[in-house]
Amino acid sequence: MEVRLLRYIGRRLVIVSLAALTLSWAVFLLIHTLPGNPFSGSERMTSRREQILLQRAGLTDTYPVQYLHWLESYFTGGMSSLLYAEAWVSIRLGLLAVAFMLIFGIWAGVAAAGRRGTPTDHALLLGTSVAYAVPNFVWAMWISFFATALLYRWTGGILYVDVSWHSDPIHWLLPAIALALPQVGFVARIVRASVLDALAQDYVRTAWAKGLTQRAVLIRHALRNALIPLATVMGPIAVATLMGSIVVETAFSVPGLGPDLINSIFNRSYFTVTGIFTFYSLLAGLAMLTVDIAYAAIDPKIRY
């Protein structure tokens, strides 16, 4: 079993790497189709000086040659080291949002299923529907506005880039909530439907017949099997949460990859844009692989 799992992980890592390279080449070509170049924004820039700067930067070479130069700088540590601090900030924010999504989404789904047809169930369904319907960037604007007006001490973003896990935790709370809220609604609805389906099974009726409490039946018996349908969609949900950090970071002035990506697009920083998209593609592939492995741990019938 362990050998087969290691082989499966190896195959998936190869696929993720090839997909990241393909995406990086596509993004590299796409960003070059935008008008202008990194040196064309200055009013005092002459065409001769612009041409000299382009030659020094290697931007007059053919696209394949430029791409190979970027590839060398990215995987030898030149480009990746420049993005390390911002990438770690984005990863930390994404992990915190995923944690919020799972904790509150599963809790809301189980609570609604356990009180089916009651006002609590209706209220949770309404709340999760609203949370899911509103995009995370709208949540970011609303939360940022009301927090600035009512709780101004909690806002302002992260004042400096610190990759430690203990730096200003209060500044991570509001961006993580805005990032997680739409997915909380989605997770809650999946868990509620799965728990209701599990409650109708024979093994749950047996648990009721043994005299177990509602809490024990929901947590020990219904929830575990209800997590299997959730695990099948956790990959896309986690990827959507991580990708949503681009806009949320900009709204809350979080010094992650989001603001850096937007500024790089406007400044025509070809290498930086390609590097950030490549990082997100690798992160998405690893997230999908992690979810697939966790799916096998939850459901013993899955074999790799």
Distances (CA, A) of 147 to 77, 144, 241, 247: 39, 5, 22, 18
% of the chain exceeding 90 in pLDDT: 9
Q: What is the DSSP letter of 153?
A: G
Tokens representing residue 133 in the block = 């319907």
Domain chopping of the chain, boundaries: 82-298
Q: What mean pLDDT is predicted for residues 225-243?
A: 81
pLDDT by residue (tens digit) across 79-137?
A: 666 677 788 888 888 888 999 999 999 999 888 888 888 898 899 989 999 998 988 88
pLDDT by residue (tens digit) across 12-43?
A: 999 999 999 999 999 988 988 888 777 776 66
Q: What superfamily does domain 82-298 belong to in CATH?
A: MetI-like (1.10.3720.10)
* 171 and 156 Cβ atoms separated by less than 8 Å: yes
- Band (149; pLDDT cuts 50, 70, 90): low
Predicted local confidence at residue 167, as pLDDT: 53
User: Is the overall model pTM greater than 0.85, yes or no?
Assistant: no
